[in-house]
Amino acid sequence: MIPVAVRVAAGILVALLAGRPAIHLARTARHDVRTTAALPPNTADDASRMNAAAVHDIIDVAADDAVAVVQIRAAFVRARAEHLGVSIAGFRHSMGGQTIAPNGIVLNMLGHDRIELRGTVLHVQSGAVWRDVIRELDKAGRSVAVMQSDSPFSVGGSLSVNCHGWQHHHGPIASTVLALTMLLPDGTVVRCSREERPDLFAHVLGGYGLFGVILDADLRTVPNERYRSSRKICDVASYESVFDAMARDNRDAGMAYGRISVAPGAFLREAIVTTLEREEGPIPPIQHHSGSGVARLIFRGSVASDYGKSLRWRLERRLEPLLERGAVSRNDVLSNDIELYVDHNPESTDILHEYFVPRGQLAPFIERIRPILRREHADLLNVTLRDVDADDTTALRYARGDVWAVVMFFHQERTPTADARMESLTRALIDEALAVGGTYYLPYRLHATREQMNRAYPMAAVFFAEKRRIDPDEILTNQWYQRYGR
């Protein structure tokens, strides 16, 4: 027998998607591109699809540690002899060339992917992707302590950008790292942690692959849990107090996040707080997460469409509470797939921005950027809010206190003109983040000026000096370092 809630949700879905919504989604389906064209040989790019560059070689690093060390050392020797740079790549979800050494050598770490649970400590090679990690931990009733909200990314990439996610009232992923095994630019293999070579540990985490190659990591894990979602609609002005009551002050909250409306009628004014609260009972299995179906069409249908954005927000307000009434596991929540939303159209792309603003400054920041986004006619598809506690581990830290992460997802054409407009918008938004005592996230497009970079990260000069001390030949490099560090 079909549960009453499911029957009600199905009825509402049919009602909401009949007529004009059905026509809109059918039109979206006709134009939705699902596959990205392959890159030419010896070409590297990243998730922006705006940074394609010729490289001398792409080396697939092996899973076997001894073989991997030989491969990487040989790449360093060749790089010195031929005056080439070396970059490190995993899933390549960064958007500013952080994985690309133009005319250099790219170390593709995805084959270096062994996973082992030692008690409650995850010992994992840097090329493993979170999707595989989650499924391995799930067998033992364990889960990842901190990671992004999607699962295809590599562990090494997440450590190199010091990622964060829906794990509220918690610092970035660096706070969960117990130790790292590194291969340094001089060819030596070392261990580092908070007790052993702590300076190296602090620079590698959030170090964008500039200090050495992460071979493996020991990460703290947490128990897998049973969750049930709870949601509340509020305005942006009251978001912080609503979130604190629902999440930070709620001992049953396991994860939490917010979303701000991009629909014209409620643009950057309304918000939804979602908490995933612990409850007793059997742990549900991980479900299959597909990037196809109605959910993708609803999201992609918001591109360049005020109607599509309004439809999506209406469904989030009215339908999602019914569809998400069932229990889920923590591991299932962490298993999201980016195919739900990613753009594959060869003529366009989606670009991430992220700004960190101190607690108490969220509403003022949103008020400051609303007129900018309206004036620039930016095609803003999504705004997610995350709660990040202060980072006391890394050298190039973005969370220098407890902050709100404001994650923005824009659509743009893949043209020089569109990229120039996005550069201008990015600089304006960075200025507003700085004005409220915040900063911006570094893995995305290289649109910040050097002056903005230095204001946002006043420790950058010391960070780059330490890079050159460890790697005086500047063997490890990428487009981000060449833009801001050299």
Give the per-residue pLDDT at 13.
Answer: 55
DSSP-assigned letter for residue 32: -
Query: DSSP alpha helices (H): ranges in 197-270?
Result: 198-204, 239-243
Distance, in Å, from the CA atom of 154 to the CA atom of 474, rounded to the nearest integer, reads: 24
Contact 245, 273 (CB under 8 A): no
Percent of the chain whose pLDDT exceeds 90: 89
pLDDT at 1: 36
* pTM for this predicted structure: 0.94
- Residue 11's pLDDT band (cuts 50, 70, 90): very low
Domains and CATH numbers, the chain: 43-223+463-484 (3.30.465.10), 226-456 (3.30.70.2520)
Over residues 445-460, the pLDDT tens digits come to: 999 999 999 999 999 9
Distance of alpha carbon 29 from alpha carbon 295, whole angstroms: 11
Q: Note the residue count of the chain.
A: 486
More confident residue, 149 or 239: 239
What does the pLDDT look like over 117-174, one tens digit per residue? 999 999 999 999 999 999 999 999 999 999 998 999 999 999 999 999 999 999 999 9
Spatial distance between the Cα atoms of 425 and 346, rounded to a whole number of angstroms:
23
The answer on pLDDT for 10 being more than 80 is: no
Q: Nearest 10 degrees: CA dihedral of 341, 344, 345, 351?
A: 60
pLDDT at 335: 95
DSSP state of 174: G
Output the average pLDDT for the chain: 94
Instruction: List beta partners, residue 257.
Output: 274
The CA–CA distances, whole Å, from 166 to 326, 356, 386 equal 19, 15, 6
| Closest to 463 (Cα-Cα) out of 193, 204, 262, 285 | 204
Judged against a pLDDT cut of 60, whether residue 6 lies above it is answered with: no
Gap between the terminal Cα atoms of the chain: 65
Concatenating the DSSP letter of every residue in 44-112 gives: E--TTS---EE-SEEEE--SSHHHHHHHHHHHHHHHHHHT--EEEESS---SSSTT--TTSEEEEGGG-
Tell me, what's the pLDDT at 86? 98
For the chain, the maximum distance between any two Cα atoms, rounded to a whole number of angstroms, is: 70
Tokens of 427: 């600089």
Q: Give the list of residues 6+ apart from residue 369 with CB closer than 8 angstroms, or none.
A: 268, 429, 432
pLDDT tens-digit series, residues 57-102: 999 999 999 999 999 999 999 999 999 999 999 999 999 999 999 9
On whether the CB atoms of residues 99 and 126 are closer than 8 A, the answer is: no
Cβ atoms of residues 327 and 5 within 8 Å: no
| pLDDT of 16 above 80 | no
* 131 touches 335 (CB < 8 A): yes
Q: What is the pLDDT of residue 465?
A: 98
> How far is the CA of 15 from the CAs of 12, 62, 314, 315, in angstroms?
5, 53, 12, 11
